[in-house]
Amino acid sequence: MNKFLRYIGRRLALLILVLIGLSIITFTLARIVPSDPAAVYLGPRPRPEQIAEVRIKLGLDKPVYVQYAYYLRDLLHGDLGTSIRTHQPVLKSILRFLPASFELMLTAIILALIIGTLLGVTSAQKENTLIDHANRLFAVTGVSLPAFWLGLLFQLLFFRCLGILPLGGRIDIYVSLFSPIKHITGFYVIDSLITGNWVAFKSSILHLILPGITLAAYSTGIIMRMTRATMLEVNREDYIVAARAAGIPERTVVFKYALKNAMAPTLTTAGLAFASMLTATFFIETIFYWPGVGTYTVKSILLNDYPVIMAVTLVGALLYVLVNLVVDLVLVFLDPRIRL
């Protein structure tokens, strides 16, 4: 156990270096962009003397490296800055929007892992049959269709044409008015489930379907391809032939003996695909009016609200590194030969 903690500690130490490097890059980029944060801060038609005043207030009159030093100092105190657009502390806003994004991303990850793995396994078992070809076509489609376009297609089909799923948002507006959800975890599905609020539960599930699938599409494709490839490889291993020769039922051979061996590359890819999921969230939340960090960030980007951009970048990097750390730890439990 001690070894685990030491390993985690080492990885987290590296994370700090990553974050510092990242903050320098985003900070520089935000300042290169030809846009005046002071003007954004003041809104339409500010007077020049107002701008000068705000520049001093925001510290924009200081040299860039001094500004960065101030930024780092605030960061160490847990202050991610104040949004230029909303004049609210960035951390507070992010924490408010994060549960919505987490709920969406978690749904997408679970969907991608289950569907991707199942399709990959069936494809490998039925190599080069019609089922396999269909699955591979599905995977390629998922990977190559841009998320924003897929989202629009889904809206057109399931909302406009079939009318069976909502267009966007997290929950039906009437439901939120007449049976409001009590905030416990911030996940609507879980909160409504534990409070027994069935109307809200149903509504939030329905609202999750389209954005969840859209967000999962890319990862599902990648995971499917990876699972198929590794399962084909594992199927040729001696221990699979040996398991069959010992009369182990086919289902156990495939889903236990083979899949556990094939899971490691699949999970690694899933961890890496998480990066694309973070990016896709921005588009998908905007398209589906999902009140999450993505929507919040897109609005901020459009106004070069640099404290928000930087904070979201850092949070995103943090998430990405943490997810991959978790993946690496899971791999240790999957394969006893892996040493930390």
Partner 1 sequence: MLEVKELETHFFVYEGIVKTLNKIDLTIYKEETLGIVGETGCGKSVTALSILRLIPSPGKIVGGKILFEGQDLLKKEKEKMRKIRGNKISMIFQNPTSSLNPVFTVGDQLTAVIRNHQKVSKEEARKRAIEMFKQVGLPDPRRTLQKYPHELSGGMQQRVMIAAALSCEPSLLIADEPTTALDVTIQAQILNLMEGLKEKLKTSILLITHNLGIVAKICDRVAIMYAGEFVEEAPIEEIFGNPKHPYSKGLLESIPKVTQKGKLETIGGTVCDLLDPPSGCRFHARCPSSMEICQKERPGQTKIGKNHFVFCHLYNS
How many residues comprise the chain?
340
The identity of residue 225, as a single letter, is R
The smaller minimum CB distance to partner 1, of residues 183 and 244, is found at: 244
Name the minimum Å distance from CB 240 to partner 1. Answer: 8
Name the minimum Å distance from CB 220 to partner 1. Answer: 25
The smaller minimum CB distance to partner 1, of residues 174 and 255, is found at: 255
The smaller minimum CB distance to partner 1, of residues 262 and 315, is found at: 262
- Closest by Cα among 92, 84, 98 to 35: 84
Residues that bind partner 1 (CB under 8 A): 236-239, 241-250, 252, 257, 260-261, 334-337
The smaller minimum CB distance to partner 1, of residues 139 and 258, is found at: 258
Name the minimum Å distance from CB 321 to partner 1. Answer: 26
Name the minimum Å distance from CB 10 to partner 1. Answer: 25
Distance of alpha carbon 117 from alpha carbon 114, whole angstroms: 5
Three-state secondary structure readout of the chain: CHHHHHHHHHHHHHHHHHHHHHHHHHHHHHHHCCCCHHHHHHCCCCCHHHHHHHHHHCCCCCCHHHHHHHHHHHHHCCCCCECCCCCCEHHHHHHHHHHHHHHHHHHHHHHHHHHHHHHHHHHHHCCCCHHHHHHHHHHHHHHHCCHHHHHHHHHHHHHHHCCCCCCCCCCCHHHHHHCCCCCCCCCHHHHHHHCCCHHHHHHHHHHHHHHHHHHHHHHHHHHHHHHHHHHHHHHCCHHHHHHHHCCCCHHHHHHHHHHHHHHHHHHHHHHHHHHHHHHHHHHHHHHCCCCCHHHHHHHHHHCCCHHHHHHHHHHHHHHHHHHHHHHHHHHHHHCCCCCC
Name the minimum Å distance from CB 171 to partner 1. Answer: 42
CA dihedral over 286, 291, 295, 300, signed as positive or negative: positive
The smaller minimum CB distance to partner 1, of residues 126 and 299, is found at: 126
The smaller minimum CB distance to partner 1, of residues 158 and 257, is found at: 257
Name the minimum Å distance from CB 232 to partner 1. Answer: 12
Name the minimum Å distance from CB 335 to partner 1. Answer: 5
The smaller minimum CB distance to partner 1, of residues 17 and 245, is found at: 245
The smaller minimum CB distance to partner 1, of residues 163 and 336, is found at: 336
Name the minimum Å distance from CB 330 to partner 1. Answer: 13
